[in-house]
Amino acid sequence: MKIGIVGLGLIGGSVALDLRQRGFASSVIGTDSNPEHVRVAKQAGILQEEGSLSDLARGCDLIILATPVDVAPAILLSLLELASDKTIILDVGSTKEHICQAVEKHPRRKQFVACHPIAGTENTGPGAAHHGLFDNKVNIICNAADSDAHAVETAEELFACLKMETVHMDARAHDRHLAFVSHLSHITSFALGLTVLEIEKDEKSIFNLAGSGFASTVRLAKSSPAMWAPIFRQNAGHVSEALDAYIQQLLRFKEAIDQGMVTETYDMISRANHVSRVLSGIELKNKQNPPVKPAPTAE
Protein backbone atom coordinates (compact mmCIF):
# COMPACT_ATOMS: atom_id res chain seq x y z
CA MET A 1 0.00 0.00 0.00
CA LYS A 2 1.32 3.45 -0.91
CA ILE A 3 1.20 5.67 2.18
CA GLY A 4 1.27 9.47 2.35
CA ILE A 5 2.41 11.29 5.47
CA VAL A 6 1.56 14.95 6.04
CA GLY A 7 3.74 16.25 8.87
CA LEU A 8 7.11 14.57 9.28
CA GLY A 9 7.59 15.02 13.02
CA LEU A 10 8.12 12.48 15.79
CA ILE A 11 4.75 10.80 15.22
CA GLY A 12 4.52 10.98 11.42
CA GLY A 13 8.16 9.93 11.10
CA SER A 14 7.88 7.00 13.52
CA VAL A 15 4.67 5.75 11.86
CA ALA A 16 6.41 5.82 8.47
CA LEU A 17 9.50 3.95 9.71
CA ASP A 18 7.52 1.04 11.18
CA LEU A 19 4.89 0.77 8.41
CA ARG A 20 7.62 0.51 5.83
CA GLN A 21 9.86 -1.84 7.79
CA ARG A 22 6.94 -4.13 8.61
CA GLY A 23 5.72 -4.26 5.03
CA PHE A 24 2.43 -2.38 5.43
CA ALA A 25 3.72 0.49 3.29
CA SER A 26 5.28 -0.34 -0.07
CA SER A 27 6.54 3.25 -0.14
CA VAL A 28 6.01 6.51 1.69
CA ILE A 29 5.45 9.92 0.09
CA GLY A 30 5.89 12.72 2.61
CA THR A 31 5.36 16.44 2.96
CA ASP A 32 6.01 19.00 5.67
CA SER A 33 5.68 22.79 5.76
CA ASN A 34 9.20 22.91 7.22
CA PRO A 35 11.84 22.12 4.52
CA GLU A 36 14.35 21.24 7.23
CA HIS A 37 11.99 18.48 8.46
CA VAL A 38 11.82 17.10 4.93
CA ARG A 39 15.60 17.11 4.66
CA VAL A 40 16.11 15.34 8.02
CA ALA A 41 13.30 12.87 7.28
CA LYS A 42 14.91 11.93 3.95
CA GLN A 43 18.24 11.34 5.66
CA ALA A 44 16.54 9.18 8.28
CA GLY A 45 14.90 7.04 5.61
CA ILE A 46 11.42 8.12 6.72
CA LEU A 47 10.20 8.79 3.18
CA GLN A 48 11.00 7.47 -0.26
CA GLU A 49 9.60 10.46 -2.12
CA GLU A 50 8.67 14.06 -1.38
CA GLY A 51 5.38 15.37 -2.79
CA SER A 52 2.77 18.11 -2.55
CA LEU A 53 -0.66 17.53 -1.01
CA SER A 54 -1.98 16.92 -4.56
CA ASP A 55 0.79 14.38 -5.20
CA LEU A 56 -0.20 12.55 -2.03
CA ALA A 57 -3.92 12.74 -2.82
CA ARG A 58 -3.35 11.39 -6.34
CA GLY A 59 -0.63 8.86 -5.58
CA CYS A 60 -1.50 7.29 -2.22
CA ASP A 61 -3.97 4.64 -1.08
CA LEU A 62 -3.93 5.97 2.45
CA ILE A 63 -2.84 9.34 3.86
CA ILE A 64 -1.89 9.98 7.47
CA LEU A 65 -2.29 13.48 8.77
CA ALA A 66 0.29 14.04 11.51
CA THR A 67 0.47 17.83 11.81
CA PRO A 68 -0.24 19.97 14.87
CA VAL A 69 -3.99 19.93 15.50
CA ASP A 70 -4.56 23.59 14.60
CA VAL A 71 -3.75 23.10 10.90
CA ALA A 72 -5.09 19.53 10.56
CA PRO A 73 -8.78 20.35 9.79
CA ALA A 74 -7.95 22.66 6.85
CA ILE A 75 -5.48 20.17 5.39
CA LEU A 76 -8.01 17.37 5.84
CA LEU A 77 -10.63 19.38 3.93
CA SER A 78 -8.15 19.99 1.08
CA LEU A 79 -7.21 16.32 0.95
CA LEU A 80 -10.84 15.23 0.84
CA GLU A 81 -11.33 17.52 -2.17
CA LEU A 82 -8.18 16.36 -3.95
CA ALA A 83 -8.34 12.63 -3.28
CA SER A 84 -10.10 9.89 -5.22
CA ASP A 85 -13.19 8.15 -3.84
CA LYS A 86 -11.00 5.28 -2.67
CA THR A 87 -8.36 7.16 -0.72
CA ILE A 88 -8.51 6.64 3.04
CA ILE A 89 -7.39 9.51 5.26
CA LEU A 90 -6.49 9.16 8.94
CA ASP A 91 -5.40 11.77 11.41
CA VAL A 92 -3.35 11.04 14.52
CA GLY A 93 -3.99 14.22 16.54
CA SER A 94 -4.43 14.50 20.30
CA THR A 95 -7.86 16.19 20.09
CA LYS A 96 -10.71 14.58 18.22
CA GLU A 97 -13.93 16.58 18.57
CA HIS A 98 -12.72 19.62 16.62
CA ILE A 99 -11.55 17.72 13.55
CA CYS A 100 -14.65 15.50 13.54
CA GLN A 101 -16.88 18.59 13.62
CA ALA A 102 -14.88 20.23 10.80
CA VAL A 103 -15.75 17.41 8.37
CA GLU A 104 -19.09 16.36 9.87
CA LYS A 105 -21.18 17.44 6.86
CA HIS A 106 -18.55 16.76 4.21
CA PRO A 107 -19.82 14.47 1.42
CA ARG A 108 -16.61 12.45 1.74
CA ARG A 109 -16.66 12.25 5.54
CA LYS A 110 -16.76 8.45 5.31
CA GLN A 111 -13.24 8.32 3.83
CA PHE A 112 -11.82 9.86 7.02
CA VAL A 113 -11.04 7.90 10.20
CA ALA A 114 -10.34 9.94 13.36
CA CYS A 115 -7.48 8.25 15.25
CA HIS A 116 -5.26 8.93 18.22
CA PRO A 117 -2.37 6.54 18.74
CA ILE A 118 -1.35 7.32 22.32
CA ALA A 119 2.41 7.44 22.19
CA GLY A 120 5.10 10.07 22.10
CA THR A 121 8.04 11.45 23.94
CA GLU A 122 8.96 14.94 25.05
CA ASN A 123 11.25 15.16 21.99
CA THR A 124 10.05 16.52 18.66
CA GLY A 125 10.81 16.51 14.94
CA PRO A 126 11.85 13.80 12.47
CA GLY A 127 15.23 13.48 14.21
CA ALA A 128 13.37 12.07 17.22
CA ALA A 129 11.42 9.53 15.15
CA HIS A 130 12.26 5.91 15.86
CA HIS A 131 11.13 2.33 15.36
CA GLY A 132 8.86 0.74 17.95
CA LEU A 133 7.45 3.98 19.39
CA PHE A 134 3.92 2.57 19.25
CA ASP A 135 4.59 -1.05 20.27
CA ASN A 136 2.13 -2.29 22.94
CA LYS A 137 0.42 1.09 23.23
CA VAL A 138 -3.26 1.94 22.69
CA ASN A 139 -4.83 3.61 19.66
CA ILE A 140 -8.22 5.30 19.91
CA ILE A 141 -10.61 5.47 16.95
CA CYS A 142 -13.36 8.04 17.44
CA ASN A 143 -16.85 8.20 15.93
CA ALA A 144 -16.21 5.13 13.77
CA ALA A 145 -19.89 5.00 12.75
CA ASP A 146 -19.28 8.16 10.67
CA SER A 147 -16.55 6.38 8.68
CA ASP A 148 -16.77 3.73 6.00
CA ALA A 149 -16.48 0.24 7.55
CA HIS A 150 -13.68 -0.69 5.16
CA ALA A 151 -11.77 2.48 6.04
CA VAL A 152 -12.06 1.68 9.77
CA GLU A 153 -10.94 -1.88 9.15
CA THR A 154 -7.91 -0.68 7.18
CA ALA A 155 -7.04 1.79 9.94
CA GLU A 156 -7.25 -1.02 12.50
CA GLU A 157 -4.94 -3.18 10.39
CA LEU A 158 -2.49 -0.29 10.14
CA PHE A 159 -2.41 0.22 13.91
CA ALA A 160 -2.19 -3.55 14.48
CA CYS A 161 0.91 -3.44 12.27
CA LEU A 162 2.22 -0.75 14.66
CA LYS A 163 1.53 -3.35 17.42
CA MET A 164 -1.19 -1.21 18.95
CA GLU A 165 -4.49 -2.24 20.53
CA THR A 166 -7.39 -0.21 19.13
CA VAL A 167 -10.17 1.04 21.39
CA HIS A 168 -13.30 2.84 20.13
CA MET A 169 -14.67 5.97 21.72
CA ASP A 170 -16.87 8.98 21.16
CA ALA A 171 -14.80 12.06 20.18
CA ARG A 172 -16.14 14.22 23.00
CA ALA A 173 -15.52 11.51 25.63
CA HIS A 174 -12.00 11.10 24.22
CA ASP A 175 -11.25 14.80 24.61
CA ARG A 176 -12.52 14.92 28.20
CA HIS A 177 -10.57 11.81 29.28
CA LEU A 178 -7.41 13.07 27.59
CA ALA A 179 -7.75 16.47 29.27
CA PHE A 180 -7.34 14.70 32.62
CA VAL A 181 -4.85 11.93 31.86
CA SER A 182 -2.62 13.74 29.37
CA HIS A 183 -3.22 17.44 28.73
CA LEU A 184 -3.35 18.30 32.44
CA SER A 185 -0.06 16.56 33.21
CA HIS A 186 1.62 18.61 30.48
CA ILE A 187 0.38 21.84 32.06
CA THR A 188 1.49 20.72 35.52
CA SER A 189 4.99 20.21 34.11
CA PHE A 190 5.08 23.48 32.15
CA ALA A 191 3.96 25.38 35.25
CA LEU A 192 6.47 23.58 37.48
CA GLY A 193 9.27 24.38 35.04
CA LEU A 194 8.29 28.06 34.93
CA THR A 195 7.98 28.30 38.72
CA VAL A 196 11.41 26.83 39.39
CA LEU A 197 13.13 28.74 36.57
CA GLU A 198 11.71 32.05 37.83
CA ILE A 199 12.76 31.47 41.45
CA GLU A 200 16.07 29.69 40.97
CA LYS A 201 17.98 32.14 38.79
CA ASP A 202 21.17 30.19 39.37
CA GLU A 203 20.68 27.05 37.33
CA LYS A 204 23.70 25.40 38.91
CA SER A 205 21.93 25.36 42.25
CA ILE A 206 19.03 23.53 40.59
CA PHE A 207 21.45 20.90 39.24
CA ASN A 208 22.90 20.48 42.70
CA LEU A 209 19.67 20.29 44.62
CA ALA A 210 17.16 18.70 42.28
CA GLY A 211 16.95 14.94 42.44
CA SER A 212 15.59 12.45 39.95
CA GLY A 213 12.09 13.17 41.29
CA PHE A 214 12.15 16.73 40.02
CA ALA A 215 13.55 15.59 36.67
CA SER A 216 10.75 13.06 36.25
CA THR A 217 8.01 15.50 37.21
CA VAL A 218 9.21 18.29 34.96
CA ARG A 219 10.22 16.15 31.97
CA LEU A 220 7.11 16.98 29.92
CA ALA A 221 7.97 20.69 30.16
CA LYS A 222 10.32 20.04 27.24
CA SER A 223 7.30 19.39 24.99
CA SER A 224 6.77 21.46 21.86
CA PRO A 225 4.69 24.67 22.03
CA ALA A 226 3.73 24.23 18.35
CA MET A 227 2.07 20.96 19.26
CA TRP A 228 0.62 21.80 22.66
CA ALA A 229 -0.71 25.38 22.39
CA PRO A 230 -3.20 24.26 19.68
CA ILE A 231 -4.24 21.19 21.72
CA PHE A 232 -5.05 23.38 24.72
CA ARG A 233 -7.01 25.74 22.46
CA GLN A 234 -9.05 23.00 20.81
CA ASN A 235 -9.74 21.24 24.10
CA ALA A 236 -10.09 24.46 26.13
CA GLY A 237 -13.34 23.54 27.90
CA HIS A 238 -12.17 20.20 29.22
CA VAL A 239 -8.64 21.37 29.97
CA SER A 240 -10.02 24.31 31.94
CA GLU A 241 -12.26 21.92 33.91
CA ALA A 242 -9.26 19.67 34.64
CA LEU A 243 -7.16 22.67 35.71
CA ASP A 244 -9.93 23.82 38.05
CA ALA A 245 -10.10 20.40 39.70
CA TYR A 246 -6.31 20.31 40.00
CA ILE A 247 -6.03 23.80 41.49
CA GLN A 248 -8.69 22.83 44.05
CA GLN A 249 -6.52 19.88 45.15
CA LEU A 250 -3.50 22.18 45.45
CA LEU A 251 -5.49 24.68 47.52
CA ARG A 252 -6.54 21.85 49.85
CA PHE A 253 -2.87 20.93 50.28
CA LYS A 254 -1.94 24.55 50.84
CA GLU A 255 -4.64 25.04 53.48
CA ALA A 256 -3.62 21.88 55.33
CA ILE A 257 0.03 22.96 55.23
CA ASP A 258 -0.71 26.57 56.22
CA GLN A 259 -2.87 25.38 59.16
CA GLY A 260 -0.37 22.73 60.28
CA MET A 261 -3.05 20.04 59.77
CA VAL A 262 -0.64 17.10 59.43
CA THR A 263 -3.38 14.46 59.57
CA GLU A 264 -5.11 16.08 56.59
CA THR A 265 -1.87 16.19 54.61
CA TYR A 266 -1.16 12.59 55.57
CA ASP A 267 -4.61 11.48 54.41
CA MET A 268 -4.35 13.29 51.08
CA ILE A 269 -0.95 11.72 50.39
CA SER A 270 -2.29 8.27 51.35
CA ARG A 271 -5.17 8.67 48.91
CA ALA A 272 -2.77 9.88 46.21
CA ASN A 273 -0.72 6.71 46.84
CA HIS A 274 -3.54 4.71 45.21
CA VAL A 275 -2.13 5.96 41.93
CA SER A 276 0.46 3.19 42.30
CA ARG A 277 -2.26 0.74 41.19
CA VAL A 278 -2.73 2.83 38.06
CA LEU A 279 1.03 2.99 37.45
CA SER A 280 1.31 -0.80 37.82
CA GLY A 281 -1.54 -1.10 35.32
CA ILE A 282 0.27 1.12 32.82
CA GLU A 283 3.52 -0.82 33.28
CA LEU A 284 1.72 -4.14 32.95
CA LYS A 285 0.03 -2.96 29.75
CA ASN A 286 3.37 -1.92 28.29
CA LYS A 287 4.78 -5.37 29.01
CA GLN A 288 1.91 -7.31 27.48
CA ASN A 289 2.21 -8.73 24.01
CA PRO A 290 -0.10 -6.88 21.69
CA PRO A 291 -2.94 -8.75 19.96
CA VAL A 292 -2.16 -9.75 16.38
CA LYS A 293 -5.42 -8.28 15.18
CA PRO A 294 -7.24 -5.95 17.56
CA ALA A 295 -10.81 -6.65 18.56
CA PRO A 296 -12.82 -3.40 18.47
CA THR A 297 -14.01 -2.50 21.94
CA ALA A 298 -17.28 -0.69 22.52
CA GLU A 299 -17.21 2.36 24.80
Residue list 256-285, contact with a second copy (CB under 8 A): 257-258, 260, 262, 265-279, 281-285
User: With DSSP H G I counted as helix, E B as strand and the rest as coil, what are the percentages for the chain, rounded to 5?
Assistant: 55, 10, 30
Task: State in angstroms the smallest separation of the CB of 27 from a second copy.
Answer: 30
What DSSP element (H or E) covers 187?
helix 184-199
Please, which of residues 228-257 interact with a second copy by CB under 8 A? 228-230, 232-233, 236, 239-240, 242-247, 249-251, 253-254, 257
Q: How many residues bind a second copy (CB under 8 A)?
A: 101
Q: Determine the 3-state secondary structure of 29 from DSSP.
A: strand
Please, which of residues 55-114 interact with a second copy by CB under 8 A? 70
Q: Which of 12, 3, 112, 17 is nearest to 55 (CA)?
A: 3
Count of CB atoms situated within 10 Å of the CB of 113: 24
Q: Which of 50, 122, 135, 157 binds a second copy (CB under 8 A)?
A: 122
User: β-strands 2-6, 62-65: how paired?
Assistant: parallel
Count of CB atoms situated within 10 Å of the CB of 198: 8
Q: Which of 139, 128, 132, 136 is nearest to 223 (CA)?
A: 128
Task: Verify binding: residue 177, a second copy, rule CB under 8 A.
Answer: yes
Count of CB atoms situated within 10 Å of the CB of 249: 11
Task: Verify binding: residue 35, a second copy, rule CB under 8 A.
Answer: no
CB nearer to a second copy: pick between 82 and 173: 173
β-bridge mates for residue 139, sequence order: 117, 166
β-bridge mates for residue 227, sequence order: none
Task: State in angstroms the smallest separation of the CB of 198 from a second copy.
Answer: 7
Task: Verify binding: residue 171, a second copy, rule CB under 8 A.
Answer: no
Q: Which of 160, 162, 164, 221 binds a second copy (CB under 8 A)?
A: 221
Task: Verify binding: residue 298, a second copy, rule CB under 8 A.
Answer: no
CB nearer to a second copy: pick between 149 and 262: 262
Count of CB atoms situated within 10 Å of the CB of 147: 24
Q: Please give the C-alpha separations between residue 268 and each of 73, 188, 209, in angstroms, as whole numbers.
A: 42, 18, 26
Task: Verify binding: residue 212, a second copy, rule CB under 8 A.
Answer: yes
Task: State in angstroms the smallest separation of the CB of 132 from a second copy.
Answer: 13
CB nearer to a second copy: pick between 82 and 268: 268
Task: Verify binding: residue 167, a second copy, rule CB under 8 A.
Answer: yes
Task: State in angstroms the smallest separation of the CB of 51 from a second copy.
Answer: 29
Cα 81 to Cα 75: distance, rounded to the nearest angstrom: 10
Who's near 49: CB < 8 A, 6+ residues apart? 27, 28, 29, 30
Task: State in angstroms the smallest separation of the CB of 122 from a second copy.
Answer: 7
CB nearer to a second copy: pick between 54 and 224: 224
Task: State in angstroms the smallest separation of the CB of 55 from a second copy.
Answer: 30
Q: Which of 75, 140, 142, 152 binds a second copy (CB under 8 A)?
A: 140
